[in-house]
Amino acid sequence: MGRAPCCDKANVKKGPWSPEEDAKLKSYIEQHGTGGNWIALPQKIGLKRCGKSCRLRWLNYLRPNLKHGGFSEEEDNIICSLYVSIGSRWSVIAAQLPGRTDNDIKNYWNTRLKKKLLGNNRNRRNKEQQQFQPCSNNNQEETTSINRGRSSPSVIFGHDDSLLVHENNSTIQQQQQCYWPHFMPVLPIPNVPYSTSNNHFLLGSSFNDQDSIKKLLIKLGGRFYNNGVDYHNYHPTLDDGLNHLLHQSQGQGQGIITTTHSNNNNSTQQEVVYHQEQVQFGDGNNGGLHDELVQRQGNFNIEIEEEMVGTNTNNNFIPQRLLLNNNGLEFLCGDMAFSDKIILGSTNRVNWGESSNSGNSVIYQQPLLASSNYQQDQGVRPSEECALQEYSTTIATMRSNNSNTMLHV
DNA sequence: AAACATAGCAACCGCCCGGCA
DNA sequence: GTGCCGGGCGGTTGCTATGTT
């Protein structure tokens, strides 16, 4: 038996709000407040609306100090960097943008930013639609729309910056250049852990202070541990919490872990990785994503994959989840993968909205330290609760080894 | 000018979670 | 401890405006 409806569906009005309804609702709330009970509110003021509908109307439209449209470049930065980091947690993102509602941001992302970042504007798509071709286990013609699809497709970038869109149990490949690089925020944050002259600690401009980061982490449920390791210089970053979140999502079968094997046992700062595997966590039934990964694997033999690999005192590798093929950097983030051209060690940076003169960009990356290798080396079982601890431990280990390994965060 | 396609966005739906009895 | 209820949230839908052919 389902839940009782919150209101009498037959007797409530649906659809667009009239100015009269808006005036009634606004006037009442401004005078009396919501009274803490949205369900009862419409009856009090004689509105034939569901309480939830009233709440949404107030929060998304009538509430004072709301801004509509006209997102600034800075707001774009924040939205994109946070989306890349935490995904579609619109309320959290909205909390960082005064005057913006989660619904606004969600719509803005879905209708504009996503396409902007994917380079999916109309002109491009018109040209590129002709290049759409099935490339997976489904030979049927695909005419899917990325933007209007009723079920959200999975989108990852394959090798050569091609775009893989998985939808309805098939994968289609769209040859197009990824637009992420031109929009990735690349602002360094202070007090970052294990900072070297060459590494890249990149974070959205709105999170350049530790307090904001900590507050957000707390809001996100991040936890911090002290396992005896001296990391007094360690300052949690947004990514710490995101790593934690990523573990959570992996437990639900949504995450991707990239692990690497190397046939080079020397403790060098960089090693060529000749084999790579994609490890999927969860119940293994996430078929669509798996197909995409298999799709990618088939191309690895024509790529030179490199990874920044650090080592600890036991010569165990500490994968840094940084992949480099002959076309540039790739990294995975949830069900999306982003790609950009990058020269390892390059300190060239481009700002959000800029393109690099040299064609090399440094892009925002997340740590993914708890690969299966690392977990085995540490003798610990992957746990969503130890993500931050592992991260901190890794940092401490690398510090103690006085390693010059670049830590890409 | 008409038909069609696409973009943009307000609003709805249904699930989840926390508070409370 | 359990179940109910309301609020919050993310995903989806439907309508209108705009652009394209």
Residue range A254-273: mean pLDDT, rounded: 28
Q: How many CB atoms are closer than 10 A to CB A302?
A: 10
User: Which uninterrupted H or E stretch holds A156?
Assistant: strand A154-157
Nearest residue, CA→C1' of C13:
A150
**Mean pLDDT, residues A286-308:** 27
Neighbours of A326 (CB within 10 A): 11
C13 C1' to A161 CA distance, Å: 32
User: Residue A294 has which token pair?
Assistant: 């298999």
Q: Once rounded to an integer, what is the mean pLDDT over residues A319-346?
A: 28
How far, CA to CA in Å, does A10 sit from each of A41, A42, A50?
18, 15, 10
As a whole-number percent, the residues of chain A with pLDDT over 70 amount to: 25
Give the closest nucleotide to A145 (alpha carbon vs C1'): B6
What average pLDDT score do residues A338-351 get? 26
Pair (A188, A332) in one structural domain: yes
pLDDT of residue A39: 80
- For strand C, is any atom closer than 7 Å to the CB of A6? yes
Could you give the number of structural domains in chain A?
A: 4
One domain, residues A146 and A275: no
Q: Report phi then psi at A128, rounded to 5.
A: -80, -20
Q: Which residues, 6+ apart, have CB-to-CB distance to A125 below 8 Å?
A: none
Beta bridge partners of A174: A163
Q: Above 80 in pLDDT, residue A108? A: yes
The secondary structure element, H or E, covering residue A155 is strand A154-157
Beta-sheet pairing, A270-273 with A163-167: unpaired
Query: Does the residue A166 lie in any domain?
Result: yes
Q: Which of A110, A336, A248 is nearest to A102 (CA)?
A: A110
The reply to whether A106 has its C-beta less than 7 Å from any atom of strand B is: yes
Name the 3-class secondary structure at A383: coil
Distance A282 CA to C19 C1' (A): 44
Q: Is residue A409 part of a domain?
A: no
- What pLDDT does A144 receive? 30
- The reply to whether A369 falls in a domain is yes
| pLDDT (tens digit per residue) in A184-197 | 333 322 222 222 22
pLDDT of residue A118: 59
Distance, Å, A104 CA → B9 C1': 8
Give the closest nucleotide to A54 (alpha carbon vs C1').
B11
pLDDT at A293 over 70: no
Give nucleotides in strand C with any atom < 7 A to a protein C-beta: 5-13, 15, 19-21
Quickly give A52 CA vs B3 C1' distance in Å. 38
Q: Mean pLDDT throughout A66-95?
A: 81
For the CA of A2 and the C1' of C9, the distance in angstroms is 20
- What amino acid occupies position A106? K
**Assigned domain for A358 exists:** yes
Residue A231: CB less than 7 A from any atom in strand B: no
Strand B atom within 7 Å of A327 CB: no
The verdict on A387 and A317 lying in the same domain is yes
**pLDDT of A95:** 83
Q: Across residues A341-356, what is the average pLDDT?
A: 26
- Mean pLDDT in residue range A335-348: 27
Same domain, A295 and A308: yes
Mean pLDDT of chain A: 46
Regarding whether A127 and A111 lie in a shared domain, the answer is: no
Domain that includes residue A91, residue range: 73-117
Q: Pull the structure tokens for residue A363.
A: 């892009």
* DSSP H helices in A224-285: 238-251
At A310, is the secondary structure helix, strand, or coil?
strand
In whole angstroms, B19 C1' to A51 CA is: 19
| Distance measured from the CA of protein residue A37 to the C1' of nucleotide B20, in angstroms | 14
What average pLDDT score do residues A38-55 get? 84
* CATH code for the domain in which residue A57 is found: 1.10.10.60
**What confidence tens digit (pLDDT) does each residue in A211-239 have?**
444 444 443 333 333 333 323 333 334 34
Q: What are the tokens at A163?
A: 């775009």
Asked if strand B comes closer than 7 Å to A112 Cβ, the answer is yes
- Give residue for tokens 């993914």: A368
Same domain assignment for residues A167 and A196: no
Average pLDDT over residues A297-320: 28
Q: Which residue has the higher pLDDT, A284 or A44?
A: A44
Helical H segments across A209-259, by residue range: 210-220, 238-251
**How sure is the predictor about A180, in pLDDT bands with cuts at 50, 70 and 90?**
very low
Q: Does residue A53 sit within a domain?
A: yes
Q: Which of the residue ranges A66-70, A149-153, A199-203 has the most confident prediction, judged by mean pLDDT?
A: A66-70
CA distance linking residue A357 with residue A346, whole number of Å: 13
Question: Looking at residue A374, what is its pLDDT?
Answer: 30
Q: What distance in Å separates the CA atoms of residue A208 and residue A336, rounded to the nearest whole number?
A: 25
Residue A279 covered by a domain: yes
For A110-154, what is each residue's pLDDT tens digit?
A: 877 776 665 533 333 333 333 333 333 333 333 333 333 223 333
Q: Assess contact for A302 and A327: CB atoms under 8 A.
A: no
pLDDT tier, A32 (very low <50, low <70, confident <90, very high otherwise):
confident
Q: Are residues A110 and A211 in the same domain?
A: no
Indicate if A281 and A367 belong to the same structural domain: yes
| Same domain (yes/no): A203, A303 | yes
Q: Decide if A405 is inside a domain.
A: no
Q: Are residues A137 and A229 in the same domain?
A: no
Same domain, A236 and A380: yes
Asked if strand B comes closer than 7 Å to A19 Cβ, the answer is: no
Helix axis angle, A210-220 relative to A238-251, nearest 10°? Answer: 20
Q: Is A296 found in the same domain as A256?
A: yes
> Å from A149 (CA) to B8 (C1')?
15
